[in-house]
Amino acid sequence: MKGTMKTLSEAIRDRRSTPSFDGEPIPPNDLRMILQAGLDAPSGYNMQPWRFVVVQDPEQRKRLRAASYNQAKVEEASAVIVACGDRDGWRKDLDEMLRLGREGGMPESYAAQAAQTVPGYLSSFSDEQMTGWLNKQVTIATTHMMLMAEVMGYDTAPMEGFEQDKVCEMLRLPMSYWVVSLLAIGHLKGPDKFEGGRFEMAHTVFGEEYGKSLK
């Protein structure tokens, strides 16, 4: 970590999708702090279906680049976090989720209901629904990591430009895994990306119902 931490507002204001990285390794404690911010994210029923593969080895980064439409920043970044969801995570993790919850004061009535509802809800999903559910959960965790990295003075680049089958194969992911996105982390090399700009709030935000402006 270089210098003092930025505030969250500063990190949000300054963040750009980094076009090029200098490749300097990230100290392991910094990386763990970034990862922990992701693991602290909220998830549906607290099922935490995310799984992350951290790629730092230069040869492995090169292979990941080849599975990511040859995007140079995949190879240049200090670390690339491959953010995945496990379609079957809930089957293995339900009991542990309930145990942790009870430890933190989860009421017995809530635990009993969750033990019924979670398997009923998630086992009814089509493949497409499960993918959508995983995309939601994993993206919140990845966003936590991206912003924590920015607060700590790192530069980041979220990426969806990769080939699902190739990434699964090169990382030897289990069949139940779905790759949601990549998050490259490191330090900017050269000029930063242009500011893309954002639509006016009136274009994307409504008040009370569609089409009404927010008061």
Q: Which CB sits closer to ligand FMN, 49 or 158?
A: 158
- Cα separations (Å) of 189 from 114, 137, 203? 48, 31, 34
**Dihedral of alpha carbons 206, 159, 86, 139, sign:** negative
Positions 60 through 119 that interact with ligand FMN (CB under 6 A): 71
Residues 6+ apart with CB under 8 A from 23: 76, 77, 78, 186, 189
CB of 181 to ligand FMN, least distance (A): 5
Tell me which of 83, 130, 159, 185 binds ligand FMN, using CB under 6 A. Answer: 159
Q: Which CB sits closer to ligand FMN, 130 or 159?
A: 159
Distance separating alpha carbons of residues 159 and 152, to the nearest angstrom: 20
Residues 6+ apart with CB under 8 A from 36: none
Tell me which of 17, 56, 60, 131 binds ligand FMN, using CB under 6 A. Answer: 17
Distance separating alpha carbons of residues 145 and 35, to the nearest angstrom: 6
Asked if 161 interacts with ligand FMN (CB under 6 A), we say yes
Task: Write out the H or E segment, with its range, that includes residue 214.
Answer: none
Q: Which CB sits closer to ligand FMN, 51 or 73?
A: 73
Tell me which of 38, 49, 85, 158 binds ligand FMN, using CB under 6 A. Answer: 158
Q: Which stretch binds ligand FMN (CB under 6 A): 52-60, 96-104, 117-125, 152-160?
A: 152-160
Binding-site ranges for ligand FMN (CB under 6 A): 16-17, 71, 158-161, 181, 193, 196
